[in-house]
Structure 1
Amino acid sequence: MNGQYPKKNFLGQLAIVLHAHLPYVRKNEKNSLEEDWLFQAILECYIPLLQVIESSKIENPLSTKLTISLSPTLLSLLDNKQLKETFPSWIKTRIDFLNELPQKEKNASAFLMKNLNDKYFYWQECSGNLIEKFKLLNKSGNLDILTCAATHGYLPILRENPETVKGQINTAIRSHENIFGIKPLGIWLPECAYYENLDEILFNSGIRYAILDGHGILNATPRPRYGVYAPICSKKGVAFFGRDSESTLPVWSAKDGFPGNGVYREFHKDLGWELPLSNLQKKGISSERPLGLKYYKITNEKATLGDKEFYLENEAIKKAEEHANEYLLERSKQLKKLTLSSSFIPLLVAPFDAELFGHWWYEGPLFIYNILKNSSKYSIKLTNLKEFLTQKPNLQICNPSPSSWGQGGYHNYWINDANAWIVPEITKAGSAFVDLCSQKSNNDLSIRLFNQAARELLLSESSDWSFILRAGTTTELAKERIKRHLSRFWKLVEMIKNHSKINWKFLQDIEDEDKVFPDINIDDWRK
């Protein structure tokens, strides 16, 4: 294919892709650490992103274009009635903590109080239905919403049992269709991880495009003529977009990235670490942990947590606008160089974890807003992946290379000394389940047991636990999660094999706690 695109009155196109995901952290325990993960992400990331996209859509409907993947586990949490009912009281507890601060700190945290109230009102106005907000933006074309694997399973280590890969993908597609009313055409492969012939499974499941790390494109066969600046198409008919490191580095870089600027909010200095445990316990919080209440700024790279200065909101707002313009200026220079050397209009693909914007980098949503607002001033056309493909570009036929967006572009972050023990455990469970599914009977009890066993298998396969073990954070929680789901899986397998020994209370309890994927289909695991 010639890979050429029609000339337009802009230098090139930019596709910002956000990957929104949390593992299934629901736990029948109020004020749990897992509950905090979700609620802090809602407060600091998902609501702020929705707000800036909605505002930009009103002001600049044609240039408000983003791609976002919403993982099935995240969607199930956002759709959970119990969690929706709990979130307002969680916010009110944080407001109470701020009200109890000494006057000096209360003044410094005034912006945070305003923010908490603003997000609370937004939540109340939409009755906690953030999914409907995303759905409307998807329908208008401002967002292109992708799916992901069901529980963010790292697909290359599941390949020994292809049916487990199909189970991850088909469960995700069915869940997405059930929530949004349409089948997804695009997918965020967990950790952007790809292995040989995965495109065949994707295509057969109805997926038509995905994102890879630059390694997956640059090492494709044959080598792509336009590198990562144009998508390729596999022989099976799936388009793959490549991550442009130059477009992501200004945000991702731990050393030189924008989020490390001294005027931005300090992530690690949280009120939860500084209050006496007795104060937390009065509010029903049993252990010291982050509360999401941070009102100091980074100050400078040499400042210890005790040396941090109070956050100044206006200073940070101004800096976020400056950084957005700096980012756009550099992308326009990059695009100008690329268009000088080729006859096509290049595409820059910049994928990020969505939680970076707002949770890790408090000012991130404001940065996104300024990108949406000012891109046209720099002769850059914002697009999303679906819109780009509707332009019907001629794509070069190439086989993508095995890769991930982990360090070096390889799989070693998810297969190493800290977490390799997981692989044989989930492989053994996957093999047993695939064999068992081929003997499945159709009575109601059998289907109920099979369905819950499939859920536990999927939950044990989440790449989040491998990542945590490698990173060395909350490792005991990660180990406990893996062992919990595998233990439940094997107990269910024994019940399936021996109907006379069914523990009804056990079955009901785990159905209540691991209430995910109501439309799961065991046929996905059959050979």
Structure 2
Amino acid sequence: MSTTTVSDAVPGQFTLVLHSHLPWLVNHGRWPVGEEWLYQSWGSSYQPVFDVLRRLAADGMKSQVSLGITPVLAAQLDDPHAAASMYEWLADWQLRAMELATDRDPVRRDHGNREFRAAAAALADFEQHWRHGGSAAIRTLVDTGVIELLGGPLAHPFQPLLDERLRRFSLAEGLADARLRWGHTPTGIWAPECAFTPGMEIEYDTAGVRHFMVDGPTLRGDTALGRPVGGSDVVAFGRDLQVSYRVWSPKSGYPGHAAYRDFHTYDHDSGLKLSRVTGRSVDGAAKAPYDPARVDAVIDRHVDDFVGQVRERLIAQSRRMGRPALVVAAFDTELFGHWWHEGPRWLERVLRRLPEVGVTVGTLDDARRGGYVGQPVHLTDSSWGSGKDWRVWAGPQVRHFVDLNAEVTQTALDTVDKQMASAATTSRDRVNDQIIRETLLTVSSDWPFMVSKDTAAGYATDRAHKHAHATREICDAASSGRVEAAQRLADGWGRADNLFAQLDARRLPATGGN
């Protein structure tokens, strides 16, 4: 039971922003990196987080979260192969739990029974809400008003380093993708990696984007209000690191508590996670068994701590400015459930507890419309990565990706421009569409990130070069007049990378920015 007392209304507004994203994984490997990553995140994060949001909506709670879902993740949640494989993955989870429940060790049997019940609940939830893809589940949340939906550009590129034509195309197509899937065009976006370079605000304005996220240092730490960028009316909202880092930071945060389930330690026989964190320096083999009885009180302590931090921050910032302040906490959705098993429970308790202590909860759209906006600001090059600059995506370790992306993008645009200029008709050309599709997959920000952070670097490098190869070989066939070969290659790669069917290369902005 939480102990924070009910209080009078606190000035200002608290906004929780969740960013949901995975690179395109379907048909590109399964284990240890590939589709397994999608299914783990789907079952451990997206299902329980959406379940929390549905319960809040059922209780009449509105504007609880600004929820970002990238087009490339949305495409995977709607992909028929991914949906069928996800169902199989959940069934396999239940089978592994059933086997563990027959173990001679009573502690392991208890783990197996608990995992069996969790898998059964996930299967029932999947059958009811997800069996035919993610769009219905997402649109339901939008329609209830419990979330503000944030969009983004196709395939999650690191936008400041992307050719301007392709950057504008990717954003416009990403917003159109949201409209197609959910009947709703977002007015706010989570820019990939919160990356920014001056001039992008004009592109946002042209695309109809009214607000976007940056990291706190981009606004020089003054995140208590959104800020119009440059001479535009587009508002940048910054992540409050003082509050956000209470949950998740490079060095600390709630998920590291000894009682919580350990993310990194697997039981080799069942493939399930049966250990608790125990201690930051404790080796995996020495970690104690996970004990749910230890967890509930810890969650409540962390709820109290966070709620108290938000309340104090709002009061202090409002007093400093002489007007009601805004506090924005922002995280990857995958933190809740996938990385931090207890995260969805903590999330629901926080959102229910905040109003009880007088804190107003609202979305970024609520904040913009409600006047939580200060004076214009001129932003510089930035991101939310290490150093808050571009080193993760453009540093010496990944400079070859920058060169690769520039070369592939130029090849693709030159080829498509020539193809369209010489075409006898203005009909849609599936070859040109696939060239652009493979180019966008090549320039995904995930590949240099995974190399810089040394997380499946080999897989990331292989993926970038595979899509680059696909782009080049289709371009080569098209440019040399081998029409049938180009079509055959485009169709083949299209079967593997079956996403963004509505992508139409004819909508590429013309050379010269028109």
TM-score, normalised to structure 2's length?
Answer: 0.91
Please name the residue that 2:220 is paired with. 218
CA distance in 1, matches of 2:104, 2:242: 45
User: Is residue 2:238 matched to residue 1:242?
Assistant: yes
Please name the residue that 1:141 is paired with. 145
Superposition deviation, residue 61 in structure 1: 1.3
User: Is residue 2:21 matched to residue 1:39?
Assistant: no
Superposition deviation, residue 31 in structure 1: 6.6
Please name the residue that 2:76 is paired with. 77
Please name the residue that 2:25 is paired with. 25
Q: Write the deviation string for residues 481-526 of structure 1: whole angstroms up to 9, x where unpaired.
A: 0111011101111122133353254332211111111111222253
CA distance in 1, matches of 2:441, 2:260: 36
Superposition deviation, residue 393 in structure 1: 4.8
Q: 1:26-425 maps to which residues of 2 (within 5 A)?
A: 26-27=26-27, 33-59=33-59, 61-62=61-62, 65-101=64-100, 102-104=103-105, 105-128=108-131, 129-158=133-162, 161-218=163-220, 227-234=222-229, 235-271=231-267, 274-275=268-269, 291=271, 293-393=272-372, 395-425=374-404
Does the aligned pair in 2 maintain the 1:12–1:379 contact within 8 Å?
Answer: no
Superposition deviation, residue 388 in structure 1: 1.9
Matched position secondary structure for 2:157: coil
Please name the residue that 2:489 is paired with. 506
Stretches of structure 2 lacking an aligned partner (at least 5 in a row): 1-7
Does the aligned pair in 2 maintain the 1:215–1:401 contact within 8 Å?
Answer: no
CA distance in 2, matches of 1:304, 1:29: 29
Superposition deviation, residue 353 in structure 1: 0.8
User: What's the Cα RMSD here?
Assistant: 2.0
CA distance in 2, matches of 1:172, 1:42: 21
Superposition deviation, residue 154 in structure 1: 0.5
Please name the residue that 2:3 is paired with. none
Comparing 209-218 with 462-471, which one deviates more in the overlay? 209-218
Stretches of structure 1 lacking an aligned partner (at least 5 in a row): 1-7, 220-226, 280-290
Where relative contact order (Cα < 8 A, 6+ residues apart) is larger, the structure is: 1
TM-aligned CA distance change 1:60 to 1:447, over 3 Å: same
TM-aligned CA distance change 1:140 to 1:395, over 3 Å: farther
TM-score, normalised to structure 1's length?
Answer: 0.89
CA distance in 2, matches of 1:93, 1:100: 11
Superposition deviation, residue 233 in structure 1: 0.7
Q: Write the deviation string for residues 130-185 of structure 1: whole angstroms up to 9, x where unpaired.
A: 32222122122210111122111001111xx2102112212211111111112221
CA distance in 1, matches of 2:216, 2:424: 46
CA distance in 2, matches of 1:442, 1:196: 39
CA distance in 2, matches of 1:60, 1:376: 13
Superposition deviation, residue 36 in structure 1: 0.5
Does the aligned pair in 1 maintain the 2:226–2:373 contact within 8 Å?
Answer: no
Matched position secondary structure for 2:398: coil
**Runs of 4+ more than 6 Å apart:** 28-32
Please name the residue that 1:524 is paired with. 508
CA distance in 1, matches of 2:31, 2:173: 30
CA distance in 1, matches of 2:167, 2:151: 15
Identity of matched residues, %: 22
TM-aligned CA distance change 1:127 to 1:334, over 3 Å: closer
Superposition deviation, residue 206 in structure 1: 1.3
Comparing 31-40 with 461-470, which one deviates more in the overlay? 31-40
Q: Write the deviation string for residues 446-480 of structure 1: whole angstroms up to 9, x where unpaired.
A: 71110000000000010100011111121111111
Does the aligned pair in 2 maintain the 1:21–1:71 contact within 8 Å?
Answer: yes
TM-aligned CA distance change 1:86 to 1:51, over 3 Å: same
Does the aligned pair in 2 maintain the 1:217–1:401 contact within 8 Å?
Answer: no
User: Is residue 2:446 matched to residue 1:464?
Assistant: yes
CA distance in 2, matches of 1:171, 1:212: 21
Does the aligned pair in 1 maintain the 2:262–2:276 contact within 8 Å?
Answer: yes
Please name the residue that 1:285 is paired with. none
Matched pairs, number: 493
Comparing 407-416 with 444-453, which one deviates more in the overlay? 444-453
TM-aligned CA distance change 1:444 to 1:120, over 3 Å: farther
TM-aligned CA distance change 1:113 to 1:317, over 3 Å: farther
CA distance in 2, matches of 1:39, 1:331: 33
Superposition deviation, residue 442 in structure 1: 5.9
Please name the residue that 1:492 is paired with. 474
TM-aligned CA distance change 1:318 to 1:443, over 3 Å: farther
Q: Write the deviation string for residues 295-329 of structure 1: whole angstroms up to 9, x where unpaired.
A: 21111223211111111123223311221111001
